Structure formats: C-alpha cells, structure tokens
C-alpha cells in the first residue's frame, strides 16, 4: 500500500515541478535555475497535509483527487516518451543525410529526462518524512544516489526496474526493514547487503541470481525471504543464521541439494522448494519445529524423503508431487499435524497403508502412480474406516481392484476418481475430472456418455488446481442435469516455468493438451496470472479463452521465472502467434492497475475476436476480487453454458459488473 501512496504523492508534486522546469527550458537557452526547496513547492493537493517541518505528508488512502493527479502525470510522461521516440526517429533519419540530430528530438529527450529526474527527486524528498521510498517500475538501470541520502529510510522498493547490480552504498541504509528488489536483472548481491541487520523482509524473486553471499545469516531479523525465479544452484550454509525467518521461497531455481544447516531455521513456517532439481534432502530436518507447509513438487530427480519429516510437530501440508518417489517412509503415520499429503505423479508401486493412521490426515492424492493391484486393494479396504475425507485415485488404478471393493469404496463417499491422464508423461499436473454422469458410468463399468464440452483450468499456484472450488460451484448452480455435462481438465505447472513458454517444455505441454482437447467440440480455457498466460500460450487449441490479468511481456513483470531476455521474448512471441491462430474468442479480463493494462495492450487491438474487459480493481489479483464479490462464478458459468448451447437466465453483461 505504501508504494502506491508514495507514488501518488510523488507524481502530483513532480507534475508541478516539471511544469516549472519546462517553462524555463522554453523561455531561455540558458540552463534552468536550481530546483526549489521542498518547502517552496506548490501544495500537491487537498489530500496532503503540510507538516511543521515544511514537508508534505502523503495521504493514508488513495483519494479520487490523488488518483486524478497520478493519472495525469502518467499520461503526460507517456506522451512525452512517445514524442521523444517519434522525433528521435526523425533525428536518426536526418543524421543519415549528414545534417546531424534534430534539435526538437533532443529537446523531447531532455524533457523526458527532466521529468523522470524530478519525479525521483521529489519522491526522495517525501521519503524524508515518511521513511518509505517507492522507485518501482521507473526503468532504472542504476539506483539514484539520492536514495542513499534519505535519513532513517525504513522501506525501499526498486522492483520492476533494469538493475543488473546494486551499489555498495546499499549498506548505508542501516534502518531498512523492507527491501523490494523483485523483477530486475541482478546476478549477485553486494556483501554490504548483509549489513542491513534491521531488515525483516527481502524480496528478490524474478532476478538472475546465481548465488547468495556466504554471510547472509547476518540478517538476523529477517522473517521473509523470497528467492523464487532465480538461477540458484545452492544455498549457503550460513542460511542457518536466519533464526527469525518464517517464510522462505526458493521455487523455480536450479537447486540440487540443501545445506544440512537448514534444520537450524527453527522459526520457519513455510518452505517452498517446488520446481528445482533436488536429488535428496538432508537426513535430519527435525529441527524445523515450526514448519507448517513444505512444497517439493516438480523436482524430477527426488526419489525419497527423510523419515525425520514425521517428527515435525507443526507440519500440516506436504506436497511431493511430480517427483520420482519410489517409496514413502511408513513413519509418516506418526506425523502429528499432517492434514494434506500430495503424492500424485510419482513412481510409487506400493503405499504403506499405515500412513492412513496419521491422526489428522484428511486428504491423500495418489493419481498417476503405477500402484500394484495389491496396493490399490489395501488402500480401498482401509478407506472407509480411516480419517480421510478424500483419497485421489485415477481410473486406471481403480480398474485394478475387484468391482465389489471399488463399489464399497465409492459408497463411503471418500474416493475421488479422475479420468485418464493425457499421454506423454513428464512434469505437469494433468487431472481430468469427468462430468457427473460420465463419472458415475465409469465407476459402475458402464459405457461413458458423450461429453462435448471441456473446461481447461490452468493453475497459477504450483501444485494447486485453484479453480477447482469455483468449478464445483458452477456445477452446483445447475438448474438442470444437462448444465453439468462438461468435463474439466486441471493443468498446473509445478516448476514455475510459465508452462515452459520460452523453451522446448512448451512442446511437452502442447502435445498433452492437444491430445485431450481434440476429443471435444467446444473447449473453454480459464486461468489467472501465470495460468492466464497459459490460456493465451495455447489459445489455438481452444474455442473460447478467458484470461484474468495475463503476463505477456515478462520483461516488465516482477513475478517471472529466472530466465533471460531471449527466453522471455520467445514466450511473448508464442503467445501473440497462438492468439492470432485461435479460431474462437479471446477475452482478457484486467483491472485498472497500470501493469496489467500494459500487458493487455500487448495483444493486437484490430482483431474483433480479442476482447479486453477492464474492471475498477487496482490489483493484479483480479480473479480473487471478482470471486469475493460473487462475480467470477457468473462469468465462468455463462461461458460454460454458452459452450454447451444453453442459455443462462442469470446472465449479466460484463460491462455492467462494475
């Protein structure tokens, strides 16, 4: 919130200062006069209050007038940039004729540079009063020296810029408690970063970091550390010094192992390691006594987990899906707090049914494992009397059991059976949930009725089909049986690779999707954020696409994989090409946040089959906002009913939702 507030204040003040500066440039060829002192600047607006020391305090909330000022400032900056580019091209043309660069082009460039410099200067002055400095999304290639002169700076955001390195002066900001560096091009951190001992939150995701400083453990106050989407192959032993650390995200890196000292993180509650190259885990992880969530999915070479996990007193959620597990320790039956265990997509032939005795275990997912008939029989026999509320198996596994045993397991209401997974194998969560009538026919051995509509849900959270609950609501809202006659394919990228849109992994996903989508007359894609990118990336396989806040140009995104510019360019081009190949309708849903609007503008505007729907939600989490207001289900239900050729009596025009 503070970033937006300070940005508004800075933009309003910058607009006034720039206006004065540009007048000076136009009136005289002489250098402009020195910038005025803070106290002499015009009042930025009625929403800002002047403090006794002459500094302006930013408003606590974004008022209408502040938003208007910010909008005008941004529009003016974009217009100047466009004029600069246009006149700059003329200058290049003139230069080729031997006339040199045009004066107007140079003036436009100077205007843009002055405007940006003034905006940063004013933000730094405001930070002297607030202790918070937001320089995110400023296209910076270096940190402005003025940032290091702000006394007692507590929060600094440099996210979404083009920083390839940090200056050593970063060590001067000893009062920093929050440092946001996501979405840059950093390959390393200066050792001075470890002197910021007051730091509580450090966000470094979406960079190109290859290593961390060995003395990172000096950040003893750190509670949150985000390293996802980098190029890390190892973590330093000194990590154990982070005794206050509660959340550590290392997803989407190249980690092959973990330091044994990691068990020293006694305050750690969440550990995200999905999408790496882990071969093994430390044998002793029993020191992680506060750990509640451990995500290991998408480590294709991880063949085992240590027995010490069973001794973790707080561990509730354990996901080791899409790995190479050949066995599971039976000691997990003693895990006192374990509630959810995800093991789908492994190489398990046997399963220790004693694990079902874990006192709080409620959900167990085993789809896509080559279980033996004996293993399936044991699971089904133990299911009715277990504490489980859901056991996930696929149709192939269930077919191994005697019909009477399968029917008894289904009758207890705890068995969740998915359809056959698409051929091709490899990474990626692919789970086909048939329509209720088709599922009932499959469980009794009857021929499956024809289903002509498929809804493909692309997840944005690794390992979690986060549209599952909403699609269940869509089925529950049916007023007639035929309104439930659609299959659902849940697809999730556990490796945080944006469905491998920038490399050969794309072909793996495309092949498996094509194998399923080709069976249906109508195919509806839905997804948000990274999942929305996937809906566009494979849009040529769909008849209708609904993408909520997609990321198309990852070069301007803070949340992205640890890949370089070439990889990002390949993904963007594939998205544009496949959207153009789509023979159906593409609907992009976006909020009013500038970043998301810019992403939507990447798509061609002249194509009538591409529609952009804008909502008054200033957040990237648009789907969540719509869901909280009961609107997301209406949109999805309307799309599904339309695909089935049915009318929606409760249909509401998108334009009327806000």
**H helix runs in 383-489, sequence order:** 395-398, 403-411, 436-444, 468-476
Identify the bridge partners of residue 488 per DSSP, sorted by sequence position: 433, 455
Are residues 509 and 562 located together in one domain of the fold? yes
Identify the bridge partners of residue 352 per DSSP, sorted by sequence position: none
Concatenating the DSSP letter of every residue in 38-49 gives GGGSPP--TT-E
Are residues 602 and 558 located together in one domain of the fold? yes
Phi and psi at 612, nearest 5°, equal: -115, 120
Are residues 355 and 332 located together in one domain of the fold? yes
User: Are 253 and 230 in contact, with CB atoms under 8 Å apart?
Assistant: yes
Q: What is the pLDDT of residue 606?
A: 78
Give buried/exposed letters for 303-338 (b at 16+ CB in 10 A, else e): ebbbbbbbbbeebbbbbbbbbebeebbebbbbbebb
pLDDT tens digits for range 135-168: 998 889 999 999 999 999 999 999 999 999 999 9
Are residues 77 and 186 located together in one domain of the fold? no
Query: Residues 410-424: what's their mean pLDDT?
Result: 84
CA distance 484 to 436: 7
Are residues 570 and 441 located together in one domain of the fold? yes
CA distance 436 to 415: 14
pLDDT tens digits for range 516-530: 999 999 999 999 999
Q: Strand 487-492 relative to strand 429-433: parallel, antiparallel, unpaired?
A: antiparallel
Long-range Cβ pairs for the range 466-474 (8 Å, 24+): 466/531, 467/526, 467/527, 467/531, 470/627, 470/632, 470/633, 470/636, 471/636, 473/633, 474/633, 474/636, 474/637, 474/640
- Domain membership flag for residue 412: no
Question: Which CATH number goes with the domain that contains 491?
Answer: 3.40.50.1820
Q: Which of 184-198, 348-362, 414-428 has the lowest mean pLDDT?
A: 414-428
> What angle separates helix 64-96 from helix 103-130, to the nearest 10 degrees?
150
- Domain membership flag for residue 541: yes
pLDDT tens digits for range 213-265: 999 999 999 999 999 999 999 999 999 999 999 999 999 999 999 999 999 99
User: Are 215 and 239 in contact, with CB atoms under 8 Å apart?
Assistant: no
Three-class SS of 350-394? CCCHHHHHCCCCCEEECCCCCCCHHHHHHHHHHCCCCCCCEEEEE
Are residues 17 and 159 located together in one domain of the fold? no
Tell me the residue range of the domain where 118 lies.
Answer: 1-58+70-92+111-129
Burial class from Cβ neighbours inside 10 Å (0-12, 13-18, 19+) for residue 431 reads buried
Give buried/exposed letters for 388-426 (b at 16+ CB in 10 A, else e): beebbbbbbbbebbeeebbebbbeeebbbbbbebbebee
- Domain membership flag for residue 503: yes
CA distance 367 to 391: 9
Give buried/exposed letters for 151-175 (b at 16+ CB in 10 A, else e): eebbbbbbbbbebeebeeebbbbee
pLDDT tier, 428 (very low <50, low <70, confident <90, very high otherwise): confident
Structural domains of the chain, count: 3
Picking from 304, 337, 372, the residue at the C-terminal end of a domain is 372
Are residues 368 and 434 located together in one domain of the fold? no
Are residues 116 and 160 located together in one domain of the fold? no
Give Cα 289 distance to the centre of its chain.
Answer: 28
Q: What is the pLDDT of residue 88?
A: 43
Number of H helices, E strands in the chain: 14, 22
Q: What is the pLDDT of residue 93?
A: 34
Give, as one character, the DSSP assignment of residue 314.
T
Give, as one character, the DSSP assignment of residue 544.
E
Query: Residues 10-19: what's their mean pLDDT?
Result: 46
Backbone CA torsion sign across 6, 227, 322, 292? negative
CA distance 560 to 231: 12
Comparison of pLDDT for 450 and 485, the residue scoring more: 485
Q: Which of 23-27, 238-242, 549-553, 599-603 has the lowest mean pLDDT?
A: 23-27
Rounded (10°) CA dihedral 210, 214, 215, 219: 40
Burial class from Cβ neighbours inside 10 Å (0-12, 13-18, 19+) for residue 188 reads middle
- Domain membership flag for residue 103: no
Question: Which CATH number goes with the domain that contains 203?
Answer: 3.80.10.10
Is it the case that residue 508 has pLDDT exceeding 60? yes
> For the chain, what is the mean pLDDT?
83
- Domain membership flag for residue 38: yes
Are residues 278 and 360 located together in one domain of the fold? yes
- Domain membership flag for residue 643: yes
Identify the bridge partners of residue 544 per DSSP, sorted by sequence position: 524, 585
Give Cα 404 distance to the centre of its chain.
Answer: 44
The beta strand positions in 543-642, using DSSP E, are 544-548, 585-590, 610-614
pLDDT tier, 30 (very low <50, low <70, confident <90, very high otherwise): very low
Are residues 115 and 158 located together in one domain of the fold? no
- Domain membership flag for residue 384: no
Give buried/exposed letters for 481-508 (b at 16+ CB in 10 A, else e): eebbbbbbbbbbbbbbbbbbbbeebbeb
pLDDT tier, 331 (very low <50, low <70, confident <90, very high otherwise): very high
CA distance 414 to 421: 21
Give buried/exposed letters for 570-580 (b at 16+ CB in 10 A, else e): ebbebbeebbe
Comparison of pLDDT for 533 and 426, the residue scoring more: 533
Are residues 471 and 613 located together in one domain of the fold? yes
User: Are 219 and 242 in contact, with CB atoms under 8 Å apart?
Assistant: yes
Percent above pLDDT 90 for the chain = 69
Burial class from Cβ neighbours inside 10 Å (0-12, 13-18, 19+) for residue 478 reads middle
- Furthest CA-CA distance within the chain: 93
Percent above pLDDT 70 for the chain = 77
CA distance 525 to 460: 13
User: Are 314 and 337 in contact, with CB atoms under 8 Å apart?
Assistant: yes
- Domain membership flag for residue 413: no
Are residues 453 and 504 located together in one domain of the fold? yes
Predicted TM-score of the model (pTM):
0.80
Is it the case that residue 440 has pLDDT exceeding 90? no
CA distance 475 to 489: 14
Q: Strand 390-394 relative to strand 429-433: parallel, antiparallel, unpaired?
A: unpaired
């Amino acid at each position: 919130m503070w970033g937006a507030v300070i940005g508004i204040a800075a933009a309003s003040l910058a607009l006034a200062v720039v206006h004065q500066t540009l007048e000076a440039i136009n009136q005289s060829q002489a250098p402009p006069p020195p910038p005025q002192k803070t106290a002499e600047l015009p009042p930025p607006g009625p929403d800002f209050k002047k403090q006794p020391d002459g500094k302006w305090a930013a408003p606590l909330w974004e008022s209408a007038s502040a938003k208007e000022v910010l909008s005008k400032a941004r529009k003016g900056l974009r217009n100047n940039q466009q004029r600069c580019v246009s006149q700059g091209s003329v200058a290049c043309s003139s230069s080729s004729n031997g006339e040199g660069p045009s004066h107007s082009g140079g003036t436009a460039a100077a205007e843009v540079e002055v405007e940006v410099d003034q905006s940063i200067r004013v933000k730094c002055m405001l930070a002297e009063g607030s202790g918070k400095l937001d320089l995110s999304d400023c296209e910076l290639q270096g940190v402005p020296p003025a940032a290091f002169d702000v006394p007692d700076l507590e929060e600094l955001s440099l996210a979404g810029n083009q920083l390839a390195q940090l200056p050593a002066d970063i060590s001067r900001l000893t009062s920093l408690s929050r440092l946001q560096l996501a979405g840059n091009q950093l390959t390393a951190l200066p050792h001075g970063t470890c002197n910021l001992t007051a730091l509580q939150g450090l966000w470094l995701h979406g960079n190109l970091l290859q290593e961390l400083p060995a003395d990172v453990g000096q950040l003893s106050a750190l509670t949150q550390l985000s390293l996802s989407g980098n190029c890390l192959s190892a973590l330093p032993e000194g990590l154990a010094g982070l005794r206050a650390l509660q959340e550590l995200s290392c997803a989407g890196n190249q980690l092959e192992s973990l330091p044994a000292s990691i068990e020293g993180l006694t305050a750690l509650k969440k550990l995200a390691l999905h999408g790496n190259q882990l071969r093994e885990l430390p044998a002793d992880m029993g020191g992680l006594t506060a750990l509640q969530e451990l995500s290991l999915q998408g480590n294709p070479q991880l063949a085992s987990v240590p027995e010490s996990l069973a001794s973790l007193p707080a561990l509730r959620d354990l996901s080791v899906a899409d790995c190479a597990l050949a066995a599971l320790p039976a000691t997990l039956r003693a895990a006192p707090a374990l509630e959810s265990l995800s093991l789908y997509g492994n190489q398990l032939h046997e399963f220790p049914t004693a694990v079902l005795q874990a006192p709080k275990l409620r959900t167990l997912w085993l789809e896509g494992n080559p279980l033996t008939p004996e293993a399936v029989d044991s699971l089904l026999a133990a299911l009715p009397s277990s504490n489980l509320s859901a056991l996930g198996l696929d149709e192939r596994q269930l077919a191994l059991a005697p019909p009477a045993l399968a029917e008894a397991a289904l009758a207890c209401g705890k068995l969740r059976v998915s359809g056959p997974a698409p051929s091709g194998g490899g990474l990626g969560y692919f789970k086909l949930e048939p329509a209720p009538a088709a599922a009932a026919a499959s469980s009794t051995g009857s021929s499956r009725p024809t289903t002509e509509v498929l809804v493909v849900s692309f997840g944005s959270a690794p390992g979690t089909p986060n549209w599952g609950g909403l699609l269940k609501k869509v089925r529950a809202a049916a007023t007639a049986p035929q309104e439930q006659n659609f299959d659902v394919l849940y697809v999730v990228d556990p490796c945080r690779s944006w469905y491998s849109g920038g490399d050969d992994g794309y072909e793996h996903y495309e092949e498996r999707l094509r194998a399923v989508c080709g069976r249906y007359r109508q195919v509806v894609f839905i997804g948000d954020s990274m999942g929305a990118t996937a809906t566009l990336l494979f849009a040529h396989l769909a008849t209708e696409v609904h993408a909520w806040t997609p990321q198309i140009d990852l070069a301007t995104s803070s949340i992205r994989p640890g890949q370089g510019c070439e990889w990002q360019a390949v993904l963007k081009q594939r998205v544009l090409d496949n959207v153009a190949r789509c023979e159906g309708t593409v609907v992009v849903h976006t909020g009013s946040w500038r970043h998301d609007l810019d992403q939507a503008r990447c798509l061609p505007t002249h194509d009538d089959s591409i529609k952009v729907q804008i909502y008054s939600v200033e957040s990237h989490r648009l789907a969540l906002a719509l869901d909280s207001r009961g609107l997301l289900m209406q949109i999805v239900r309307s799309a599904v009913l339309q695909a089935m050729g049915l009318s929606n009596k409760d249909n509401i025009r998108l334009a009327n939702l806000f």
